[in-house]
Structure formats: structure tokens, C-alpha cells
Amino acid sequence: MAFVRICAHYFSNDGFLDDGALIRDAGKLAGIPGVLIHGRGDISGPAITAWDLARAWPGSELVVIEDSGHTGSATMRQARLAALDRLYAAITS
């Protein structure tokens, strides 16, 4: 119940962000590696949102998982592990 209340509170207040702030300010993340992994079948968050963020975040990588939705899949799990390996290699080299 507490989790639902927290989610509802943030959703009803637009995450306490101005409209468009996340995409507008994503350029500030330049130089910070990131991998966005999105399930194509995620109906709660359309892929265009991840696409817009990836385009606005210099150096980020977008991976779209065809066989997955919001709750994930074995393919998404593999993509997350591969992304973690790439990010670890990037920060330790």
C-alpha cells in the first residue's frame, strides 16, 4: 500500500518536474555512460519516450527488446547483464 501511495503521489505531481524537464536537461548527462533498455510491448511507457531520451542524452545507448513488455523477459534480463558488463568496462578502463 505504501508503494502505491508513493507512486500515486509522484504521478499526480508530475514527478515534481516541469513539463519536458527530463528531455530538455538530458544533455547535462553528456560524458556519463548510460544504457536505456526498453520492452517494445511496454504499454505503460511507450518506446518513443525512451527514444526521445536516448536522442537527448549524448553517448547513451538505447536497446529495445522485442519480446518484452513492462515486466521484462529472459531477453531483457540478458540485455541488462550485457549492459552492466559494458558500463563496468567503460568505467574501469
At 50-75, the pLDDT tens digits run 999 999 999 999 999 999 988 889 99
Residue 32 has a pLDDT of 93
Instruction: Return averaged pLDDT per consecutive 10 residues of the chain, 93 residues in all.
Output: 92 88 95 94 88 96 93 93 94 87
Residue 24 has a pLDDT of 96
CA atoms within 13 A on the CB side of 82: 12
Q: State the cell numbers at 69.
A: 513488455
Residue 8 has a pLDDT of 93
* Chain centroid, CA 67 distance in Å: 17
Residue 27: which domain range?
Answer: 18-92
Strand partners, 64: 38
Answer yes or no: is 77 within a domain.
yes
Answer yes or no: is 3 within a domain.
no
Answer yes or no: is 64 within a domain.
yes
Answer yes or no: is 38 within a domain.
yes
The count of domains in the chain is 1
Q: What is the DSSP letter of 64?
A: E
Answer yes or no: is 30 within a domain.
yes
Whole-angstrom CA distances from 52 to 17, 22, 23 are 17, 10, 7
